[in-house]
Structure 1
Amino acid sequence: LARTRPTAVNLFWAIDRMRRLYDELRGRPLGEIRAELEAAALRLHAEDIAINRAIGQNGASLVPEGRTVLTHCNAGALATAGYGTALGVVRAAVAAGKNIDVFADETRPFLQGARLTVWELEQDGVPATLITDNMAGHFLKSGRIGCVVVGADRIAANGDVANKIGTYSLAVLARENGVPFYVAAPVSTLDLALASGDQIPIEQRAASEVTHVFGRRVAPEGVRVENPAFDVTPGRYVTAIITERGVARPPYGESLKRIVGQPSPVHDESQGAGPTAGSQSA
């Protein structure tokens, strides 16, 4: 299971948590082990939703009133146990009464933005506009975008962020046009054992995701294809990292350590709150 997604650290964290529990239960009757593991999984599910809501609350004030939020890929309820990280910030801002709308990148090649993000926003009644990935620079330059909010799959100790491919380009364009670039992610996404994003493994996916769209070939037979699923955004392009324990700002080498040291607003019965074992700003 862990080998299926080498970039996303949260999966390793959850698997390790369940493995530790299994080791503690080893030797008990099988039915009891199953019941305990199921109960732990349900607790983890509930904790994730509560964590996402806390992320949303911590990030809502950063969303400017009356402006457009640009997001990439899907970091909503469909990508989490519920509520979402990046979309959790949007949801919390709307719940706080802010009049905002969202531009969602389609997110080639798998189209998570087109297939998932805009659907979620429409279900919540949040005005959403779908754009292709190569339109982002145009709209960032136009002055219509108030901020960019994305999720993360892993964050290194220096604030480098691994997220869906295309995030790095978006961050550079946001910096060039003076638009704040926020990353919303739980503390379990922080991998402080990694000094920088250069150490984060990048998942490579099938060429058919690029050469085909919904089963229809759109590229010549035999063409060479590169299909990294993620890229790494250097921390210098990240305005702030929004977690359930608070908002971290540069220099991230210091602020992320302080964030990890903050008490969690969500009860966690496991030992440790992430791969390194919100709320106030750090």
Structure 2
Amino acid sequence: MSSADQIRAIRWEEGQLCLLDQRLLPQQETWLKLSDYRAVAVAIRQMVVRGAPAIGITAAYAMALAVREASTHTDWQARLLSAADEIKAARPTAVNLAWATDRQLALAQSVSTAGQAVAALLQAAHDLLRDDIADNQRLGRYGAELLPAEGGILTHCNTGSLATGGYGTALGVIRAGISAGKQLHIYADETRPWLQGARLTAWELQKDGIPFHLHADSAAAYLMQQGLIHAVIVGADRIAANGDTANKIGTYSLAVLAQYHQIPFYVAAPLSTVDFAMPDGGGIVIEERPAAEVQQCAGHVVAPEGVEVRNPAFDVTPASLITAIITERGVARPGFPVALQALAAGHMQA
């Protein structure tokens, strides 16, 4: 069994949600045990857990905790609705957060009693975690077919087991390619300001024994110019119906660079990340995070006191820059509005 099969950031034990605190990796592997949905919402907001699929799974468990608390009251459905609003407000960009929360809310509204809702929502959260891992593995196999037999693959942020239920999206594609015998060398962006590439992706790649180099975000153009990069693969936090993709800040610039250097640019994400109600990327809300994240690096102040900061956590890559979108049901190619709808309808594509 590979270490990818053993890396898990989310688990349920003894009636509590256990989250691996990703803010402390790689120096510390610390688990938080949470039994209150409000604490889970704070954990999402404060980046204890991150990555769209992982946030969705965590939200599902938060709803399970919320209905357990609400079930002792006669107005339990109203209390659960209020909790759902609080959970969805934790972070605005990743669609999986609202998707999983609303799915749990609808399930609670479909049963007759609070007791039934408690059991149903917890089981649904367990199922979502299990299904996410299986979906990622299928997604990985589809994506691996697109990668070259050998060469350099550049990736951004963290899209592995830590960002999902397990295995990963973009990093899952890389894992599947390696497992299929492809000779790949990974180039991992550090991904300022949270350094998810340096802290998390490098940690996962090292555990898996996958050959890689870590590099500064600003080195990507040079690496492409030198012919070291043969494909770029990233994850997604929200994909609009037309294929416009919101992902970690810096993704858009990579797509522009890839097009200039004639390098394929792939997005890997489950279909739950596609927001079919969002016509294009212009309507996606981009989260602005605290200035201190840019003013500091690893807790050390690096900017002049009082400097003003812009800290968008995400950007939107136009669909015209994307070579293909890889999902657990197949690969969508340009003409994304039709291709994504076909995949959602269950029509498999290669």
TM-score normalised per structure 2: 0.74
Matched position secondary structure for 2:157: coil
How far does residue 160 in structure 1 lie from its aligned partner after superposition?
0.5
Structure 1 equivalent of residue 167 of structure 2: 83
> Per-residue deviation at 1:24?
2.1
Residue 183 of structure 2: SS of its match in structure 1? coil
| 1:23 aligns to 2:92 (yes or no) | no
Give per-residue Cα distances to partners, 1:250-273, cap 9 Å, x unaligned.
Answer: 11122111111125xxxxxxxxxx
Quote the residue 1:127 is aligned against: 211
- Select between 223-232 and 213-222 the one with higher mean Cα deviation: 213-222
* Shift in Å, 1:153: 0.4
What's the CA shift string for 1:122-147, capped at 9, x where partnerless? Answer: 11110111000000000011111110
**Given that residues 332 and 349 in structure 2 are in contact (C-alpha distance below 8 angstroms), is that contact kept between their aligned partners in structure 1?**
no
More relative contact order, 1 or 2 (CA 8 Å, 6+ apart): 1
RMSD over equivalenced CA pairs, Å: 1.1
Deviations 1:163-203 (A, max 9, x none): 00000000000000010000000000111211110000000
Map Cα deviations across residues 224-278 of structure 1 (whole Å, 9 max, x no partner): 0000000000000000000011100111122111111125xxxxxxxxxxxxxxx
CA–CA distance in structure 1, aligned partners of residues 183 and 290 of structure 2? 40
Equivalence for 2:293: 209
Does residue 1:94 correspond to 2:163, yes or no? no
Instruction: Give the aligned residue type for 2:214.
Output: L
Aligned partner of 2:197 in structure 1 is 113
- Structure 1 portions without partners, runs of 5+: 264-278
**What are the Cα deviations for residues 6-48 of structure 1, in whole angstroms up to 9, with x where unaligned?**
110011111111111211235243xx53333221111110011
Matched residues in 2 for 1:114 and 1:198: separation? 30
Contact residue 107 and residue 117 of structure 2 kept, 8 A: no
**Which region of structure 1 is more displaced relative to structure 2, 127-136 or 18-27?**
18-27
State the TM-score, normalized to the length of structure 1.
0.91
Q: Does 1:193 align with 2:277?
A: yes
User: Structure 2: how far apart are the matches of 1:124 and 1:74?
Assistant: 14
The DSSP-based 3-state class of the residue aligned with 1:25 is: coil
2: distance between equivalents of 1:120 and 1:63? 20
Q: Which residue of structure 1 lines up, in the alignment, with residue 349 of structure 2?
A: 280
Runs of 4+ in structure 1 off by over 6 angstroms are none
Cα distance in 1 between the residues matched to 2:344 and 2:111: 28
Q: Which runs of 5+ in 2 are unaligned?
A: 1-86
- Stretch of structure 1 that moved more, 18-27 or 81-90: 18-27
Which shifted more, 211-220 or 174-183? 211-220
CA distance in 2, matches of 1:26, 1:233: 44
Does the 8 Å CA contact 2:162/2:168 hold for their aligned counterparts? yes
